[in-house]
Amino acid sequence: MKVIDLRSDTVTQPTPEMRRAMYEAEVGDDVYGEDPTVNRLEAMAAERMGKEAALFTVSGSMSNLVAGLTHCQRGDEMITGADSHIFYYEVGSVATLGGVQIRLLPNDAYGRLDPKAVEAAIRGINLHLPPTGLICLENPHNRCGGTVLPPDYIESISEIAQRHGVPLYLDGARIFNAAIYLGIDARELTKYVTSVSFCLSKGLSAPVGSLLCGDADFIRRARKNRKRVGGGMRQAGILAAAGIVALERMVNRLAEDHENARYLAENLAEIPGLSVDLALVQTNIVAVRVEKGSAGRVEAELAKEGVKVSNLGDGRLRLVTHYGIERADVATALKVIRDVMRRQG
Ligand code: TLP
């Protein structure tokens, strides 16, 4: 039985070209700054994000942590949305390792924070109050189902951040999906933020890695924090080589994943017992609410039939399209899902 794995785009396998590039990569000790392939990847990433410099990290979670450690002091407060990856899925890292308190604001169905609420949450100067060290946005928004923040919204938050002298960080793990959805260059989304990270190991299919981007001084300090959390890598050019192929070859094909997600979502919406808000299906993620049976049971039964999905833990399942999932796989998955839903009481 062929397993159709829709749990995440993190399950993507490296392409043959990536494996060749890894094999042939010229490497050095990156902690000394001497890995030419890492240096090349970092320069490419900075250029793609319109920032001065970039830092190759192990994962999106490490980029988010290092961004928090670098922008904030211990005892600062970081503003983020209640469904953000930073708050929801990163084991409380900025709090436990950075001594940074998270100030949680509700986000709407698209992952947006209310600009007025953001402004109101920024702390004034008072002996009792923790200083606001950072405001975070996520684009596309994972738990909202891959929804995209447009440039004018990011600009509105950036104006507030600048007015109060607080840096604005963008968790852009899937930033190229957002750019492709909007039909714009990713720099249009990053020009309003102080720093941004994006992942190589999701839809771009590289095996490992994320890039944290910002101005040269920020990246110099971030490099020290990456070392502090044990993320200084040595001959990391082996990994960076795959990342270079990812940036050069895998960005434009994300449109195919979006088309497959749309096809999947439109068909899921027709299945009795499931509901999908099609307005929220903008990139490669489909969040579907299970209204007949339980999400956990549906997830388990699908897995038995060879269709893997992930559980968002609130009655919704998440299905993600990616490199390696063809239109025919989506059609097969839909057939399995229809059968499983028919059996739910
Ligand atoms: N998200 C993973 C899981 O952790 C949920 C996934 O399967 O989608 N920011 C965003 C917006 C993310 O979606 C993720 C990964 C990360 C950061 C963290 O990246 P990694 O997994 O590389 O640490």
Domain harbouring 298, CATH code? 3.90.1150.10
Q: Of the residues 249, 281, 299, which one is the last residue of a structural domain?
A: 249
Q: Of the residues 249, 279, 300, which one is the last residue of a structural domain?
A: 249
The answer to the question of residue 3 being in a domain is no
Ligand 1 atom closest to 61 (CA): 23
Closest residue to atom 18 of ligand 1, CA basis:
60
The answer to the question of residue 48 being in a domain is yes
What is the 3-state secondary structure of the chain? CCCEECCCHHHCCCCHHHHHHHHHCCCCCHHHCCCHHHHHHHHHHHHHHCCCEEEEECCHHHHHHHHHHHHCCCCCEEEEECCCHHHHCCCCHHHHHHCCEEEEECECCCCCECHHHHHHHCCCCCCCCCCEEEEEEECCECCCCCECCCHHHHHHHHHHHHHCCCCEEEECCCHHHHHHHHCCCCHHHHCCCCEEEEECCCCCCCCCCEEEEECHHHHHHHHHHHHHCCCCCCCCHHHHHHHHHHHHHCCCCHHHHHHHHHHHHHHHCCCCCEECCHHHCCCCEEEEEECCCCHHHHHHHHHHCCEECEECCCCEEEEECCCCCCHHHHHHHHHHHHHHHHCCC
272 and 186 together in one domain: no
Ligand 1 atom closest to 7 (CA): 7
The answer to the question of residue 5 being in a domain is no
302 and 218 together in one domain: no
244 and 285 together in one domain: no
Total structural domains within the chain: 2
Q: For residue 342, how far is its CA from the centre of ligand 1 (angstroms)?
A: 32
pLDDT means over runs of 10, the chain (345 residues): 96 98 98 98 98 98 98 98 98 98 98 98 96 98 98 98 98 98 98 98 98 98 98 98 98 98 98 98 98 96 98 98 98 98 90
210 φ, ψ to 5°?
-150, 155
Residue 1: predicted pLDDT: 84
113 and 175 together in one domain: yes
Beta bridge partner(s), residue 212: 55, 197
Q: For residue 57, how far is its CA from the centre of ligand 1 (angstroms)?
A: 14
The answer to the question of residue 240 being in a domain is yes
Closest residue to atom 3 of ligand 1, CA basis:
89
108 and 225 together in one domain: yes
320 and 177 together in one domain: no
pTM over 0.85: yes
233 and 268 together in one domain: no
184 and 328 together in one domain: no
Closest residue to atom 16 of ligand 1, CA basis:
60
Instruction: Residue 36: give its domain's CATH number.
Output: 3.40.640.10
308 and 163 together in one domain: no
Q: Of the residues 205, 220, 249, which one is the last residue of a structural domain?
A: 249
The whole domain housing 288 covers 253-344
Ligand 1 atom closest to 201 (CA): 22
Write out residues with Cβ below 6 Å of ligand 1: 8, 10, 59-61, 64, 85, 89, 138, 142, 171, 173, 199, 201, 210
The answer to the question of residue 104 being in a domain is yes
Ligand 1 atom closest to 174 (CA): 11
Closest residue to atom 21 of ligand 1, CA basis:
60
